[in-house]
Structures are given as C-alpha cells and as structure tokens.
Structure 1
C-alpha cells in the first residue's frame, strides 16, 4: 500500500454527515402503514444512498400496482417534517473531528449528495450546518445521480482539484460505486451494520466511524491509500 497525497475532501450527506436516513425511514414506514403497506427494515436499508427517482420507483414496485405513490409522497413528506421539527437531525459522530482535521491540513472540501438542493439545504439547516459547506453539488445540478460519477466529478471541478487527488467519504454502496467510477479514492463508513460485500471490496478503506477518518487525516495529507 503506497502513500498518496490528497488535495480535496468530498463528503456525502445522508448517512455520512447527517443521520437523515433514520428520519426518512420513520416517515416512510408511518406513511406506508397508513396505506396498508408494511415496509421492512431490510427494504428501507436497501434504499440507502439512492436518488429520489430510484426510491420512488422501488417503492412503487414494492407496493404493487395499487400503491398510490403520489399519496405516499404527500403523507411521508408531512410526517418527515413533523419528525424533524420535533426531533431535529443528528450530526453523525466524528464529523466535526474530520472537519477540524481537514482544516488543519489545509484541505478544500465539498458536499456531493443525491438529494435535491432544497432538501439538502433544509436538512443542513435542521442540523445547524447551513454555513459549513460553501461548495455543494446536488442531484438536480447534474445529468445523472449516483451511482453515476457526475456528482463527484462536478465537486472536484468546483474545488479545482483533479478527481484523482480527492478523497470521497461515503456510507452507501451506491455512493462507493459512484466515487470509484469517478476515479476518486474512497473511504466507506457504513451507515448500516451489515455493509454490502461488493461495496466493501470497492472502497479503498472501510472504517467504523468518522473519528477513525479524522485520525487518518492527521497524517497531514499523506495517506496510506
């Protein structure tokens, strides 16, 4: 394993910076239950990192031809807002440590998310992070969302860094595939207990939490990846 010097850090949002996925899953389950459909833990977890279009299609397939996806979206959106207003959105443990390490190393950083910009901004505001990312690339600003490489390539361009000099932090298999398709190095911090073996194999490293990533960055930008 050789040392490699990085210039840019690219964060995923859902499940990596913010614990948004639990809020989405809670709203989806409540809305589906109102419509006589039970969403399993396994099914919800399988949607981790997917774009909105993919999520809608898979929900439609799961619910069957009689499942009213429009009604589901209306209900789940209302329940999500209620949940977030009551409980907020938690920042993932270790995020601030990674940000501090990146700043000490003089690394530029960006956010690249499969969420649309309005939703990403709302989530960041709910978590008190609305001023953190000056560079943010969202699904509605590229041709194709993850697992296509577009988001990460656009983020690298915005940072004025070659994608090969960027490190992507991801929690989902979809995100890992996108990062590697873009040509970036990638550390996976799984948001679920059982990480998909294929994604684990694709990632350059797999770490238990963001504190471990912060420790790695303390090497002042020269990383064994």
Structure 2
C-alpha cells in the first residue's frame, strides 16, 4: 500500500464523500414528490447517488411517468432542501477534517471535483461552513461531460499540473469510481450508501468505510476491521 506522500495530488468528490448532502437531497425529493401526489422510495433515491442532475431528471420521468412536471418538482425540492439546510446546516463526513489536516501537513496539493453545478457546489460548501477550504474546485460546469466520463478528473489533474496516474481520487459512488478508473487515477471507494455497487468494488483500487480509515491507511497504520 503506497503512503500518501507517494501521490502528487489528492482529488476529493463532494456529495457523499466530503459532505453528507445526499440525505438532505433525498428528503427534499421525497417531500416534493409527495406534494405533487407521487412517492419516491428510499431505494429509488439511493439509485440516483452520484448522478448529474440531467441523469436524475431522466430517471424521475422514467419512474414517475411522462407527465411528471420537472419544473414544479425542481422548485418544490429546492424550497424543501433550503428549509432543511437553513435549519440544520450540512455536516462534513467523518474523518474529513483529520484527513485534510494530514494532507496539508504533507504539503500535497488537493482539490474538489464534483458532478454538481458550480452554483450548487458553492452553496453546499457555504452551508457546511467550509467554503474557503478548497482553493481549487472543478464542477460539472467546467467540462463537456460529467462523471462517469473522466473529464472532471482529467481537468483537475491538468489544473493541479500533475499526471492523473499520480493522483489519489476519493469517491463514494460507482459513477465517480468509474470516472476515476477511466481517467487512470488511483481510486479509493468510501461508500455513502448500502448495498455497495459490486462494479464499484471491482473498479476501485481500495475500499474503506470512511475517511478516517482512509487516513489510517495512508499513514501506514493498520485499519480497524
């Protein structure tokens, strides 16, 4: 197992990896659907993990029918989501602060690379109180194709001025792991949902239960079972 200093840069995903945003999205989507007379199951919401919103909209129409009003749904889900995060904020995932501190100590460049649009990404980071943590943020707006295409990670490597095969990518979803694999990065899967997609396990270079375990691993310590 390589130590962290063996990598030239670390690339973080955002939703489900750095920020515990996915539960807030799921609740807002379910509330919006209910207000419109539909029901979104927990399993259906989980199936949307890691997808860009264009893909999410396609799955919503496929699941709810061609007459499903995406405009109304987007408006309502936005209202419900902001009610939640204004009241409770957004939490960072376990181990993020400690892992980032270690990366900074090791003087390793890092950035955020997310499938979210820039306006949404910055808003989430603001609600989480970490808007100034990442000096470099690559979003879906910055590339032609989002994950699972490799574009976001390839652009991140270019901006960091390091080869992609020297980058450590931290991801929580199959979509992100596929993008990292296609880009040629060393990828670590930190699943945000259960059950874990078997293809994600097959494609990733390493799997850990949370970012604290990632830290322990790359400090050369034995992770707890």
- Asked if these proteins are the same fold (TM beyond 0.5), I'd say yes
For the aligned residues, what is the CA RMSD? 1.4
CA offset at residue 217 of structure 1? 2.5
1:87 aligns with 2:88: yes
What does residue 194 of structure 1 align with?
Answer: 195
What does residue 141 of structure 2 align with?
Answer: 140
Counterparts of 1:81 and 1:67, CA distance in 2: 22
Aligned pairs, number: 220
Contact preservation (8 Å) 2:171, 2:188: yes
Unaligned runs of 5+ in 2: none
1:19 aligns with 2:10: no
What does residue 223 of structure 1 align with?
Answer: none
Counterparts of 2:200 and 2:120, CA distance in 1: 26
- Which runs of 4 or more aligned residues in structure 1 lie more than 4 Å from their structure 2 counterparts after TM superposition? 1-4
What does residue 43 of structure 2 align with?
Answer: 42
Counterparts of 1:183 and 1:3, CA distance in 2: 18
What does residue 208 of structure 2 align with?
Answer: 207
Within 5 A, what are the aligned runs for 1:1-225?
5-219=6-220
Unaligned runs of 5+ in 1: 221-225
Deviations 1:94-146 (A, max 9, x none): 00011011112211001000000111000001001000000100001100000
Contact preservation (8 Å) 1:102, 1:217: no
Taking structure 1 as the reference length, the TM-score comes to 0.95
CA offset at residue 3 of structure 1? 7.2
Taking structure 2 as the reference length, the TM-score comes to 0.95
